[in-house]
Amino acid sequence: MKLSVSSLVFALLFSFLLETSASTNENFIHISILIYTSSNSSYSSILKSSIRNTRFSTPSTLKPQVIVTPLLVSHIQETLNCSQKHGLQVRVRSGGHDYEGLSYASPVPFVILDLINFRNISVDVKNSFAWVQSGATLGELYYWIANKSITLGFPAGVCPTIGVGGHFSGGGYGTLLRKYGLAADNVIDAHLIGVQGRFLDRKSMGEDLFWAIRGGGGGASFGVIVEWKIQLVPVPSNVTVFTVNKNLEQNATKILHRWQYVAEKFDTDLFIRNRTVQASFNSLYLGGKDKLLPLMQKSFPELGLVSEGCI
């Protein structure tokens, strides 16, 4: 296997050098940061950069033979080509918190294709869409949308450190779910590098494959999704959030039981979730508290929401 890995690294470096026409020491240094093996001093830090579950980071855990951090689409294509030639599986990582380890662990020799450098975001306010590369996080996406418009948003998760690549291909559940559906429901195009190295968009990949890469975590089963075109949705310039905590002495059990019956009947502008034995109702309302409070009094008075609890 060491011979195969050495051949893989050499082939990758050779391909990248051809691509960038490197001719100086500076170019070679630049190229070298794309590929990490266990002999590289940065290998361990790069590997652990997005590992959130230490169960998949033990001394006995099989480590990737090579970590590739591509800068260009052609680097991805060459990585797939070389990995196939040398019998190595490819794990695609977009940098978020993968608690199952699917993007950085494998029972057989493998390569990590880390899309940390693919994080560009382009927002088109006029036509209400954005292109976001798979290595970007939800926090970065939300920031750039808000930077361009205070009346556009995107229905995705609540955690800012989630990588969009895994999130979109896994569905994408968040506070705008009830009104606009999952993140995957609002993906309108994608750029995919297929297993044979072909560059595909929605038209060239066909509707069946386009359907398959959105939801269920199946995106990486069909290739490397480089970027996504997403439909932005209208939101009010002001929204209201609140968190109400109830413990057992405050009838948390009865309130939680009641919530299970009324949650599906809430106005679609209102999202509420609860957590743990101490019921913690985290909520977002697409509007001001002047409309929210009467709505809650009608829909869920047991929660006891008051004006002071709204932000």
- Give 29's pLDDT tier (boundaries 50, 70, 90): very low
Q: With a cut of 80, say whether residue 19 has pLDDT above it.
A: no
- Sequence-ordered list of residues with C-beta below 8 angstroms from that of 5, at least 6 positions apart, any chain: 37, 65, 66, 86
pLDDT value of position 13? 63
- Could you count the other beta carbons within 10 Å of the beta carbon of residue 145? 21
CATH 3.30.43.10 maps onto the chain at: 2-114
- Sequence-ordered list of residues with C-beta below 8 angstroms from that of 146, at least 6 positions apart, any chain: none
Contacts by 194-202 with C-beta closer than 8 Å and gap 24+? 194/222, 194/223, 195/80, 195/84, 195/222, 195/223, 197/77, 197/80, 197/81, 199/73, 199/77
Quick: pLDDT tens for 91-137.
999 877 787 888 888 999 999 999 999 999 999 999 999 999 999 99
Q: What's the 3-state SS for 181-237?
A: CCCHHHEEEEEEEECCCCEECHHHHCHHHHHHCCCCCCHHHCEEEEEEEEECEECCC
CATH class as words, domain 2-114: alpha beta
pLDDT value of position 293? 96
d(CA 181, CA 185): 6
* Fold exhibited by the domain 121-234: 3.30.465
pLDDT value of position 70? 93
Quick: pLDDT tens for 43-67.
999 998 888 888 888 888 899 999 9
pLDDT value of position 16? 59
Note whether 129 and 230 are within 8 A (CB): yes
CATH 3.30.465.10 maps onto the chain at: 121-234
Question: How confident is the prediction for the chain on average, in pLDDT?
Answer: 87
Quick: pLDDT tens for 263-311.
888 899 988 876 656 788 999 999 999 999 999 999 999 999 999 999 9
Per-residue DSSP letter, 163 = B
CATH 3.40.462.20 maps onto the chain at: 240-309
- Cα(first)–Cα(last) distance of the chain, in Å? 58
Domain 240-309 has CATH 3.40.50.620: no
Percent of the chain with pLDDT over 90: 60
